[in-house]
Amino acid sequence: MATKTVGKYIIVKSKGKQTITHPDKLGKVTIYGNGHIRETFYSVPDWSDGEEEEEEAFTYKGETYYLSEFERISEYAPEWMRQFDGQHGDSFFSGILVKYDGDDDGVKVYTYIS
């Protein structure tokens, strides 16, 4: 188990899980992932209205996600979130975080729950 501090956030890493807490705020964020790279591919989304334009996608937990569905993480995002490149909210309390591979042919995918 490793512990580090990023700004006021305390990050505890243990066996593919990160728990992030802020001493001034209630609650915590837990991030699950193993850091493995998921290869991206091009596919026509089923919601494309027949435009037949392929978009970059990846498969995670049996679902296909298109990178165009992800919101870029800006400099105004919480400090703990800036280590990732994009996020896609599944609900008010959970979502998926992605980090581009250095070779631009894959992404590292993580699930977060707050």
What are the sequence ranges of the domains in the chain? Answer: 2-113
pTM metric for this prediction: 0.79
Instruction: Find, among 113, 91, 88, 102, the residue nearest to 35 by Cα.
Output: 102
CA 65 to CA 81: how far, in whole Å? Answer: 20
Residue 37 corresponds to which tokens in the numbers above?
């790279």
**DSSP conformational letter for 108:** E
Half-sphere exposure of 47 (CA within 13 A, CB side): 5
Residue 65 corresponds to which tokens in the numbers above?
């996600």
CA 87 to CA 110: how far, in whole Å? Answer: 9
pLDDT by 10s per residue, the chain, length 114: 788 777 777 878 787 787 878 776 767 788 888 888 999 999 888 776 666 788 899 999 899 999 989 999 999 888 888 889 999 998 888 999 999 987 778 999 998 888
